Amino acid sequence: MKIEVNGEAREVNSATVSDALQELGWANARVATALNGTFVPAAARDDTPLTAGDRLEVLAPMQGG
Amino acid sequence: MRNFYGVTLDTPLMLGTAQYPSPAVLEAAFRGSNASVATVSLRREGGQGQAFWDIIRGFGVHILPNTAGCYSAREAITTAQMAREVFETNWIKLEVIGHSDTLQPDPFGLLEATKTLAADGFEVFPYTTEDQVLAARLLDAGARVLMPWGAPIGSGLGLNNRYGLKTLRAAFPDVAMVIDAGLGLPSHAADAMEMGFDAVLLNTAVAQAGDPAAMARAFGMAAQAGALAHAADPMGPRDMAAPSTPVLGKAWL
């Protein structure tokens, strides 16, 4: 199905946030996730289903002031 | 002794990690400054996030994640939740920006987000103005630290409203306060510390200097000098001269 990952259209086969992270190569990365603007804690990724058109944000530590 | 949610900092300098020419210069700046806190952010993972995490952890300082670039309470709250998980800290430098030219805080969104986050166990460092009424509301909402601006972010103007900052400092003598944003020179940092603030937070003034490591060191020394001076109870200014050399015993020539 088609979802948006970090603002880009992506085709994924995953049914959950946790599977999508695996599929996108972020299985072991230190990242935080939000789905459609709502925070998805790491512990909830397995149980958070994906639907076509979802917006997934995957954020990582970055420089800041 | 005022502290930051139970943490007493070794030095009164908080340093940003953005805009440095290279990771090596960033590291040199941190080593030279003796900063005790590093501010960081969360952005879309583009491949550099993991390496950056390793670098800042190596500094051995407290990590203060921000919500920079958020223009609504909702956005800032979600960012804070994500930051808590990634950086494993309840500390959050809460920025809810109200205007893109001045980057001044949106007081209404800031208050709303502070309320929600404090109730959710966050230790909020709200980026605010020198407004005393807003400060009182933020404290009511659960903030135990305030971060009034010196001047707009990145402007380097120093302490734009010394009267307002002085009044704010005097109004809440038990609240830890950090002058955040707008500092351009080490003398601005010393000035803030001499006024009784507990720390200064800056980024651009160091990162954009010709020699960031040297400037970081200068800011570290200035902040510590200012803190020492404040603790030493400075003399008050006077309008007329007063001789420092004894008049008594001067020869009749």
pLDDT digits (tens, 9 = 90+) for A53-62: 999 999 999 9
Answer yes or no: is pLDDT of B1 > 80: no
| φ and ψ at residue B167, rounded to 5 degrees | -65, -40
Is the Cβ pair B78, A42 closer than 8 Å? no
pLDDT digits (tens, 9 = 90+) for B135-176: 999 999 999 999 999 999 999 999 999 999 999 999 999 999
Closest CA to B85 of A55, A48, A16, A44: A44
B250 is catalytic: no
Residues paired with residue B137 on neighbouring β-strands, in sequence order: none
Is the Cβ pair A6, B74 closer than 8 Å? no
Ranges B143-152, B182-191, B237-246: which has the least confidence: B237-246
Chain B hits for A37, Cβ within 8 Å: 74, 78
Answer yes or no: is pLDDT of A27 > 90: no
Query: How many Å lie between the alpha carbon of A39 and the closest alpha carbon of chain B?
Result: 6
Is the Cβ pair A30, B44 closer than 8 Å? no
Closest CA to B65 of B117, B3, B21: B117
Are A16 and A54 in contact by the 8 Å Cβ rule? The answer is no
Query: How many Å lie between the alpha carbon of B171 and the closest alpha carbon of chain A?
Result: 27
- Predicted TM-score (pTM) of this structure: 0.92
**Cα distance between residue B111 and residue B73, in whole Å:** 8
Q: Which of B44, B52, B68 sits opposite A65 (nearest CB)?
A: B68
Are A53 and A2 in contact by the 8 Å Cβ rule? The answer is yes
Residues 6 or more apart whose CB falls under 8 angstroms from that of B226 comprise B12, B189, B190, B191, B192, B193, B194
Q: ipTM of the assembly?
A: 0.94
